[in-house]
Structure 1
Amino acid sequence: MTGRIITVAQQKGGSGKTTLSAHLAVSLSRLTGGSVAVLDVDPQGSFGTWFEARERTLGEDGTGLEFRTASGWGARREARSLARNFDYVVIDTPPKTDADAKPAIDAADLVLVPIQPTPVDLWATDQTLRLADREDTPAVLVFNRVPPRAALTGEMTEAIAKAGFESLSAKLGNRTAFASSMGKGLTVVETESSGKAAQEVDALLKELFSRF
């Protein structure tokens, strides 16, 4: 049996893909005890920069993750190769064209699409969801960087349902703890395990497990 491949994709930049990818990978490793590989197919290399910071903080043998990079069609081949040896593979994709994201989406068992609760973000998300649909890969929206007590979040949830898109009920807030932990190569489940941000990540993972 091969491992699960989860691709984090969003055509719009600034959606928090790398933050979501990193937190997903670390939480999968910690909560399941399974082996996790992370694959960076974004030329910008933010995921790789985070992983290097993680090595400096925890040591090369203490990251708990396997890190790889790939580009273009090689992303699909690399992801499937990793899935033969790891329980989970998390892929961070570039906010670019269909050609860049397509191989990673095609290889995935599930696509997570981070979205901030604004109409502009929802408009930009449509292209990613349609690409996942063409590749016959299940895709679900994840609210990210959600401001506290934002009435717009409720409106966007209704708009998403009206458009026929699917979203997780678990949401990640707009919290400085996420950025602070990432700068150290860590995640909030490691730096503030009892904090609200970590609780949000745990809720997200539990909801994902129900899909697997």
Structure 2
Amino acid sequence: MSGCILTVAQQKGGSGKTTLAAHLAVALAKKSGEPVAILDVDPQGSLGTWYEAREDRLGHEQTGLEFRTASGWGARREARSLARSHGYVVIDTPPKTDTDAKPAIDAADFVIVPIQPTPVDLWATSQTIGLAEREDTPAILVLNRVPPRAALTGEMENAIAEYGYDTLKTRLGNRTVFASAMGKGAAVTEEAPSSKASHEVGLLIEELVGRIG
């Protein structure tokens, strides 16, 4: 039985896509107890840089994850190969390019779409949702980098609801601890387990796993 392939995609840059992918992988590995693989198809290689920092800190055998890279249509083949031996495969995709994102979305069981609560991000998200629909892959939105006590957030939640997009209730705040943890090849659940950010990630994973099974 193949594992679940989750492709993190967003046409707009700066959405926190790589940070979300890394945190999903770490949290899913801990929660499920199954092997988890991460696949970087973004030419920028940010997820690979994070994984290298993780190897340096923990050692090659102690990262808790398997890491691969792929490009173009090779991403679909690599993802499906990894799914045969892993409970979850988390794919990080590049922004602003259908060519590289399409095979990763086609291979996925679910597309996870991080979205900051701004009108510009919502406009870009419609492109990502459209790409997922064309590949017949269900998409789930995650409100990310949410500022505290911002009136715009409520307005954007209403706008997202009007579009009818499937959105997780759990939101991830705009917290500096995410960036500091990523710089060390870690997740906030490891670097700052008692932080609000870690609590948010825990709730997100509970809700996501409940949704996708």
Whether these two folds match at TM > 0.5 is yes
Aligned mates of 1:192, 1:99 — CA distance in 2? 37
Query: Secondary structure at the residue paired with 2:60?
Result: coil
AA of the residue aligned to 2:78: E
Shift of residue 197 of structure 1? 0.3
Query: Secondary structure at the residue paired with 1:82?
Result: helix
TM-score (norm 2): 0.98
Q: Equivalent residue for 1:132?
A: 132
Cα offsets for 1:39-89 (capped at 9, x unmatched): 000000000000000001111111000000000000000000000011100
Q: Equivalent residue for 2:171?
A: 171
Aligned mates of 1:198, 1:33 — CA distance in 2? 19
Matches within 5 A, 1:90-169: 90-169=90-169
Work out the number of aligned pairs and report it.
212
Query: Secondary structure at the residue paired with 2:18?
Result: helix
Matches within 5 A, 1:1-212: 1-211=1-211, 212=213
Gap regions ≥5 residues in structure 1: none
Shift of residue 14 of structure 1? 0.5
TM-score (norm 1): 0.99
Shift of residue 31 of structure 1? 1.4
Shift of residue 210 of structure 1? 1.1
AA of the residue aligned to 2:80: R
Query: Secondary structure at the residue paired with 1:168?
Result: coil
CA RMSD of aligned residues (A): 0.6
Aligned mates of 2:152, 2:112 — CA distance in 1? 21
AA of the residue aligned to 1:145: R
Shift of residue 96 of structure 1? 2.3
Aligned mates of 1:182, 1:208 — CA distance in 2? 21
Ranges of 4+ aligned residues in structure 1 off by more than 6 Å: none
AA of the residue aligned to 1:138: P
Aligned mates of 2:31, 2:141 — CA distance in 1? 22
Aligned mates of 1:59, 1:100 — CA distance in 2? 31
Query: Secondary structure at the residue paired with 1:57?
Result: helix
AA of the residue aligned to 1:20: L
Gap regions ≥5 residues in structure 2: none
